[in-house]
Each structure stands twice: as structure tokens, then as C-alpha cells.
């Protein structure tokens, strides 16, 4: 399974890249706005900096609501760097946009997926990736991972090549479940990447090894 990081923070992306586990990045307007506010940089600069660090897909989202506007934004985003994947919301206008962009050879990530029907439509329109939002479904007492499972089954049944990104990941269990179900990718916040590494028994083990070793050192 591929690991993407769900952030627009360049320092977080650099650290994840140094770990050797990073296959791509997803951003969204909220994450980008946070970085614009924090750094004062332009969105294009932030995206370009991200693409310089990670040599994998970098999702950047359109904010228009009509096809013509979304296609225009998508062309501009895609011209920033060959790694850019254009994120498009799953609406009627969004689907038309995805179809147009797929005809132009521009990769898309159809976002805000909350039902298997939406995932099926996105794939038919030509999406390269779909992003079911697991955590936001859990938040309203729906089983977010069941949605990922349904999409995996549908895509397998019909040999659909669109890749499934388990998104809105909130904790390590989401990552494990996504891997077991067969999602192609999990896009994971920086904090959760740290949580994936840590285990209290590892910390205790290191402490014990070091204290036993230091006890027999003479100088
Ligand atoms: C996915 O691409 C989105 O950026 C993200 O996973 C949304 O997560 P949230 O529900 O934690 O905002």
C-alpha cells in the first residue's frame, strides 16, 4: 500500500520523505489556506515546493463550482509541475470536469466521496484516484471503512483501475484497516505517521537495553 501525507506543510513533507515512506501528497483548500496564513507564501509556490520534495502524485484542489472554471483552474494547476493531480469534488459539474481533464491527459483525484455510487461514477468519468473520507463518516456514526471496502469490491469486480485513497484518516487503526481491506493508498496526517512509529514497548525496550549496556561500561 502506498502512503501519501495529507498536509501542505513543507517541513512535515520533508520529514516524511526523509523517513523513506512517502509516495505522494494530498492537499485541500483548508490545508493550503493554513500554510498561506502561516508562511505568507502564494499557493503556487507552496505546491511547487512540495513537488520539489516528493517525486509522486501531489493533489491540488480546484475551488470553482462550474465545469468551465474548474477546467481552467485544473489546467493552471497541472502546468505547475508534472506531479500535480487535480482534485475535483464529486458533483455533476465535477464529473464533467473529470471527463474533460481525462481526455486532455490530466490526472484527477475525485474528492469528498461518501458513497459507493459516487466512487463508481467518478471511475466511469475517468478519475485516476478517488478519495473516500473515512473519518468524516465515522464522525456521523457511519462506518467509514465499510465504504472503502465496498469500493474495493466494486472496482475489483469490474477491473476498474482508478486507485482508492483512504482519506480523512484519523488514527493508526484506520491505516491498518485500509491496508487489510486493500485500499491502494492511505493519505495520512503527519501526527498519525508519528503515531504509527511509536510503541511503548519499543521505548521501554530501548531504555532497558541502554541501561544494561551502560551498567558495564567502565569509562
Ligand atoms: C483528503 O484528501 C483530504 O484532504 C483529507 O483527508 C480530509 O481529512 P479531514 O476529514 O481530516 O479534514
* pLDDT tens-digit readout, 33-74: 999 999 999 999 999 999 999 989 999 999 999 999 999 999
Ligand 1, atom 6, lies closest to the CA of 168
Q: How many CB atoms lie within 10 A of CB 145?
A: 21
> Is 76 designated active site?
no
**Cβ atoms of residues 119 and 107 within 8 Å:** no
Asked whether residue 219 carries a pLDDT value surpassing 80, the answer given is no
What residue owns the CA closest to ligand 1's atom 7?
168
- Is residue 168 in contact with ligand 1, taking CB distance under 6 Å? yes
Q: In the prediction, which pLDDT does 156 show?
A: 98
| pLDDT attached to residue 73 | 98
Is the Cβ atom of 29 under 6 angstroms away from ligand 1?
Answer: no
Q: HSE, CB side, 13 Å, CA atoms: give it for residue 6.
A: 22
Decide: 48 and 91 in contact? Cβ < 8 Å.
Answer: no
- Contact call for residues 13 and 46 (beta carbons, < 8 A): no
Residue nearest to atom 10 of ligand 1 (CA): 168
Atom of ligand 1 nearest to the CA of 26: 2
* Grid coordinates belonging to 70: 474548474
- Closest residue CA from atom 12 of ligand 1: 168
Q: What is the pLDDT of residue 218?
A: 84
As a whole number, the mean pLDDT across the chain is 97
CB 147 within 8 A of CB 156: no
Which has the closest alpha carbon to 109: 133, 130, 84?
130
Within the chain, residue ranges assigned H as helices are 10-18, 29-39, 43-53, 67-80, 92-103, 116-125, 134-139, 144-157, 172-181, 190-197, 200-215
User: Model confidence over 140-199: pLDDT tens digits?
Assistant: 999 999 999 999 999 999 999 999 999 999 999 999 999 999 999 999 999 999 999 999
Give mean pLDDT, residues 17-36: 98
The residue from 37, 42, 55, 87 that is catalytic is: 87
* 100 touches ligand 1 (CB under 6 Å): no
The pLDDT score that the predictor gives to residue 55 is: 87
pLDDT digits (tens, 9 = 90+) for 78-127: 999 999 999 999 999 999 999 999 999 999 999 999 999 999 999 999 99
Amino acid at each position: 500500500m502506498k502512503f501519501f501525507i495529507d498536509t501542505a506543510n513543507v517541513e512535515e513533507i520533508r520529514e516524511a520523505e526523509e523517513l523513506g515512506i512517502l509516495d505522494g501528497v494530498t492537499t485541500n483548500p483548508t490545508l493550503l489556506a493554513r500554510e498561506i496564513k502561516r508562511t505568507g507564501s502564494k499557493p503556487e509556490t507552496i505546491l511547487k515546493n512540495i513537488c520539489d520534495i516528493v517525486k509522486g502524485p501531489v493533489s491540488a484542489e480546484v475551488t470553482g463550482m462550474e465545469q468551465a472554471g474548474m477546467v481552467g483552474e485544473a489546467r493552471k494547476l497541472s502546468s505547475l509541475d508534472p506531479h500535480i493531480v487535480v482534485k475535483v469534488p464529486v458533483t455533476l459539474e465535477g464529473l464533467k470536469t473529470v471527463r474533460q481533464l481525462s481526455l486532455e491527459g490530466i490526472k484527477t483525484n475525485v474528492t469528498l466521496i461518501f458513497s459507493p455510487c459516487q466512487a463508481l461514477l467518478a471511475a466511469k468519468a475517468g478519475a485516476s484516484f478517488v478519495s473516500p473520507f473515512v473519518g468524516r463518516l465515522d464522525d456521523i456514526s457511519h462506518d467509514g471503512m465499510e465504504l472503502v471496502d465496498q469500493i474495493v469490491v466494486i472496482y475489483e469486480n469490474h477491473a476498474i483501475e482508478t486507485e482508492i485513497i483512504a482519506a480523512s484518516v484519523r488514527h493508526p487503526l484506520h491505516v491498518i484497516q485500509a491496508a487489510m481491506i486493500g485500499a491502494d493508498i492511505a493519505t495520512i496526517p503527519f501526527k498519525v505517521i508519528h503515531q504509527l512509529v511509536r510503541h511503548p514497548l519499543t521505548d521501554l525496550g530501548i531504555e532497558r537495553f541502554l541501561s544494561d549496556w551502560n551498567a558495564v561500561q567502565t569509562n
